[in-house]
Amino acid sequence: MKKIDLHIHTISTISDRAFKFSLDSFRRYVSEAKLDAVAVTNHDVFDAEQFRAIQQALEVVVFPGIEINVAKGHVLVIARPSEIDDFAAKADVISQRITKIGDCISVEELTKIFGDLKSYLVIPHYDKGPPITGEALEQLKPFVSAGEVDSAKKFVRAIKDPTKLTPVLFSDSRMMEGLASLPTRQTFVDCGVLTLEALKSCLLDKAKVALSERDGNKLWQVLDSGQMLSTGLNVLIGARSTGKTHTLDQISNAISGCKYIKQFSLVQQDEAVYEREFKHGIERRRSALVDQYLAGLKRVIDDVVKVDLDADDREVGAYLDSLLKSAAEADRRDAFSKAALFDEVEFPVGNATTLQSLIESVRQVIENLEYREIIEKHVDLATLKRLAVELIELLRGKMLDTEKRRVVNALVKEIKQGLKFRTAAVQVQDVDLYAVAMDKRRVMRFTEIVECLKKDAVILQDSLQGFRIEATKQAFAGAGEVRAASGAKIGFTDVFRKYENPYNYLRELARLEGLPSGDYYKLFAKISYRILNRDGHEVSGGERSEFRLLQEIADAQNHDLLLIDEPESSFDNLFLKSEVNQILKSLSETMPVVVVTHNNTVGASIDADYLLHTTKDVSSGKPVYRIFSGYPTDKSLTCVDGTSIESHATLMNSLEAGADTYEKRRQGYEAVKDQ
């Protein structure tokens, strides 16, 4: 097995943070990480002179490469070491094309610049930002050997999924001066001689790619000391003050995307503060679902807030008054007032919103890749494209017609104004009676929606390990509740007096300074949350802590690694065994999990995939922490320095307070057992 890192930066560019390159750091990284091959892949630039200096200084295979902004994603293009000059010339074209943040090239341009991409090792950002996706990824796939991911979780997920590219995990590191810690993200490949062709062939076979040399994808390196973790469930044990929390802190600092649940972090002493924060946390986590529920109201408000019924009434009144006066003074009309345009009404100017939405829908069907096979089974894409073209042409015609109407309306308005100045006759005021009627209908429908929203009802139900989360809606009881829902430090007392009339209430909200219009929709009905236990009652203080722990663990699915420090410090054994162990074990099937524990309910009953034990020695007055690790069935646990300790004694001392205590406790349980 060969250890490779084909994503290393040596030049600070516009797409990078500032750093000063250090050849010594690069040399140290290659030596201490025991790498067999590396690639220099700077953002949109390749420096041939620097590359040759690096090549001469390192005693491993060094590939020339470049990381290119393609279709708003990143792609590694790696060449043969024997083709430096040709590669440098092509890379110069990239540098000339991408000169500022946001610049990128298309896949077609990439192919035009480099020619046959099959001559290179092409690795796009895959499950890593900014990724190559959609049409661009489909165009690149014939040339792609692997896809770069940014965590062990994503690596294992891609390895198991036959529809995904072969994953590779690289450091994406900067070889800078004063490199504090060495990168830990590399990939092992089952490859002989490390040539470009051999690597390409190897990467196309998932069976030849792994996170570790001896343990395949079961283990991966997490610290620069060489310490490994399981890609599943890890249990970390040890005596007090031996560095367990210190180890979690190290892992958290070394691995981005960690979910770290610290000891006692979910339990507070002040019950009132705890309850308030608990409710706020529930509201914050469920806010997206409530926003989705209220999305329709928000769209209605965005429309209704523009309606001014008083202005409509004034316009209709002015129209009627002018119409009556014009009729009464018909015999006094002169040449100017008799002109055809004197009482002309403006052309109605519609909008093309519906047509634009239709075009967008057709475009989504045409460009969709995820369901392309099903779409093509029922719809001919060529026909859809012709439909899109015809709709776009129709839209252009409508837009042109609309623009013509606006121009004519402006001319009519100007001429009418000029005629009005030259006559004493009454000119009939313009009014769009249809628009006025529609405004009234909008307000009526808005009122119906809000009145329905004010009625008590459950709008959301969710469950988590026996708990049930409910969101309910009801009318606000007072101005204080509205103020709390707004989050603004302004008074709502006067505004709330109009709460019974939704339209007038909205008008008053719009007059408030400091209240964003985008928040109006939150202030028509009160959304409340409550957590119910298995019996259907609201949770107690202890149950709140249990729910928060389960919620935090479940939230870890959105991260790349879960660290949890001594959950037994705050929870009883029955809860840990029946709920926590179950969810942690389930979670570890899709991502790495590290649990620190002294408790045999967690440590011995959770069926860990990997075991770690910490110790502390004092050298020259300073603590020296060591980690021994191995599989739960191993007779001994080993440190990265080669020393080992006996597994059985370690487990007994850490989880059972020693073999004697365990035996006495076992005998005590047997004595009271009902035979």
Stretch 30-45: mean pLDDT, rounded? 97
Question: Is the per-residue pLDDT at 233 higher than 60?
Answer: yes
Q: Provide the pLDDT for residue 599.
A: 63
pLDDT band at 553 (very low <50, low <70, confident <90, very high): confident
| 191-213 core/surface letters (b: 16 or more CB in 10 A; e: else) | beebbbeebbebbeebeebbbbe
Check residues 443 and 428 and name the one with the higher pLDDT.
Answer: 443
Q: What is the mean pLDDT of residues 563-578?
A: 69
Which DSSP symbol is given to 607? -
The per-residue pLDDT for range 42-99, each reduced to its tens digit, is: 999 999 999 999 999 999 999 999 999 999 999 999 999 999 999 999 999 999 999 9
Q: pLDDT for 619-638, tens place per residue?
A: 888 888 899 999 988 999 99
Report H helices in 102-165: 107-114, 134-140, 152-160
The answer, yes or no, to whether residue 667 has pLDDT greater than 80, is: no
Quote the CA–CA distance of 101 and 631 in Å, as a whole number: 47
Is residue 578 pLDDT above 70, yes or no? Answer: no
Token pair of 200 as six digits: 């390409």
pLDDT digits (tens, 9 = 90+) for 390-414: 999 999 999 999 999 899 989 988 8
Give the residue with greater pLDDT, 313 vs 531: 313
Contact at 8 Å (CB) between 581 and 605?
A: yes
pLDDT band at 497 (very low <50, low <70, confident <90, very high): very high
Confidence of residue 447 (pLDDT cuts 50, 70, 90): very high
Please report the pLDDT score of residue 498 as a whole number: 95
Q: Judge residue 52's burial from the number of C-beta atoms within 10 Å of its C-beta, 0-12 exposed, 13-18 middle, 19 or more buried.
A: middle
| Closest among 434, 227, 419 to 341, alpha carbons compared | 419
- For residue 116, pLDDT over 90 is answered with yes
Listed residue (296, 283, 289) closest to 450, CA to CA: 296
Predicted local confidence at residue 627, as pLDDT: 94
3 state SS of 373: helix
Count the Cβ atoms, other than its own, within 10 Å of residue 241.
Answer: 11
What pLDDT does residue 146 have? 97
pLDDT grade, residue 267 (50/70/90)?
low
pLDDT for the residue 266: 59
Distance CA 293, CA 525 (A): 12
Quickly state the pLDDT bin for 125 (edges 50, 70, 90).
very high
Residues in the chain: 675
pLDDT for 265:
66
Q: Which of 46, 51, 98 is nearest to 72 (CA)?
A: 98
Q: What is the pLDDT of residue 548?
A: 78
Span 233-254, mean pLDDT? 90
CATH number of 2-221: 3.20.20
Q: What is the DSSP letter of 168?
A: E
Q: Where residue 617 falls among pLDDT bands split at 50, 70, 90?
A: confident
- Of 217, 213, 227, the residue nearest 151 (C-alpha): 217
Predicted local confidence at residue 269, as pLDDT: 54
Whether the predicted pLDDT of 353 surpasses 90? no
Print burial letters for 247-256: b (CB count within 10 Å at least 16), e (below 16).
bbebbbebbe
Arithmetic mean of pLDDT, 347-359: 86
Nearest alpha carbon to residue 253 among 227, 223, 217, 296: 223
CA 50, 52, 56, 59 dihedral sign is positive
Task: Give the mean pLDDT of 184-212.
Answer: 95
Lowest mean pLDDT among 131-145, 237-251, 300-314, 566-580: 566-580
The percent of residues in the chain predicted with pLDDT above 70, rounded, is 90
**What are the residue boundaries of the structural domains of the chain, listed by start?**
2-221, 233-257+559-671, 330-425
* 305 contacts: CB under 8 Å, gap ≥ 6: 506, 510, 517, 520
Strands of 467-474's sheet in order across: 457-464, 467-474, 526-532
Q: How crowded is the C-beta side of 154, counted as CA atoms within 13 Å?
A: 21
Cα separation, 663 vs 669, whole angstroms: 10
**pLDDT score at 264:** 67
Contact 259, 552 (CB under 8 A): yes
pLDDT classification of 663: cutoffs 50, 70, 90: low
Q: Which CATH number fits domain 233-257+559-671: 3.20.20, 3.40.1000, 3.40.50, 3.10.620?
A: 3.40.50
User: For residues 80 and 199, what is the distance between their CA atoms, to the nearest angstrom?
Assistant: 11
Average pLDDT (243-270) is 82
Mean pLDDT for 315-344 is 84
Range in 165-179, 184-198, 440-454, 599-613 the model is least confident about: 599-613
Q: What is the dihedral of CA 373, 379, 382, 384, to 10 degrees?
A: -120
